[in-house]
């Protein structure tokens, strides 16, 4: 039996895998409320020619539309790689309840800048299925060389 967090992180990894197949940096995100998946997204920077089209931003936009509300304070974000400062700032503005990321981003993760970019009430957890998330990223960047 797998935990709930592992179950949802696997869904985020499926999104990351889609990004991989489309030639996008393989990062996936999902947003969950009341144990239901509200939005699924993957990185679409290349397709949209938009460097801000990160998985988290797209997942946030869909969830905001779904709830027709300015805040996601009852939601959890699962994302395969640690959010960047832009995404952390956006998540802070939504007052999201919880962020769970698989692997740290040692180059551009928000914690390298300032952990308090996030809202003070947002809970953060990481490490779930970290190896799978890293494996996908490594294999993407190896293919690029």
Least distance (Å) between residue 21 CB and its own copies: 20
Of 49 and 144, which has the nearer Cβ to its own copies? 49
Select from 55, 84, 129, 137 the one that contacts its own copies (CB under 8 A). 84
CB of 118 closer than 8 Å to CB of 85? no
Phi, psi of 43 (to 5 degrees): -55, 130
Total interface residues for its own copies by CB under 8 A: 29
- Of 85, 98, 105, 127, the residue at the interface with its own copies (CB under 8 A) is 85
* Annotation says 15 is catalytic: no
Question: Contact 74/97 with Cβ under 8 angstroms?
Answer: yes
Quote the CA–CA distance of 129 and 116 in Å, as a whole number: 25
Tokens standing for 75?
Answer: 């939601």
Kindly tell me which of 13 and 64 has the beta carbon lying closer to its own copies: 64
Distance CA 52, CA 64 (A): 17
Shortest spacing between CB 3 and its own copies, in angstroms: 30
- Candidates 10, 17, 66, 86; binder of its own copies (CB under 8 A) is 86
Structure tokens at 59: 């997942």
- 15, 24, 44, 56: which is the annotated catalytic residue? 56
C-beta separation of 28 from 15 below 8 A: yes
CB of 17 to its own copies, least distance (A): 23
* Residue 7 interacting with its own copies (CB under 8 A): no
CA distance 120 to 58: 23
Binding site for its own copies (CB under 8 A): 45-46, 49-52, 57, 60-61, 64, 68-71, 84-90, 92-95, 113-114, 116-117
């Amino acid at each position: 039996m797998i935990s709930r967090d592992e179950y949802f992180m696997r869904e985020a990894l499926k999104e990351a895998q889609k990004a991989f197949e489309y030639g996008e940096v393989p990062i996936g995100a999902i947003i969950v409320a009341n144990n239901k998946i509200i939005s699924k997204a993957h990185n679409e920077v290349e397709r949209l020619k938009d460097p801000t089209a990160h998985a988290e931003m797209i997942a946030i936009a869909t969830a905001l539309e779904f709830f027709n509300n300015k805040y996601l304070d009852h939601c959890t974000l699962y994302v395969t790689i640690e959010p960047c400062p832009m995404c952390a700032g956006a998540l802070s503005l939504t007052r999201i309840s919880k962020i769970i990321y698989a692997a740290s981003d040692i180059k551009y993760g928000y914690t390298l800048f300032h952990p308090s970019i996030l809202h003070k009430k947002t809970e953060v957890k990481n490490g779930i299925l970290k190896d799978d998330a890293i494996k996908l990223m490594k294999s993407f960047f190896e293919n690029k060389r």
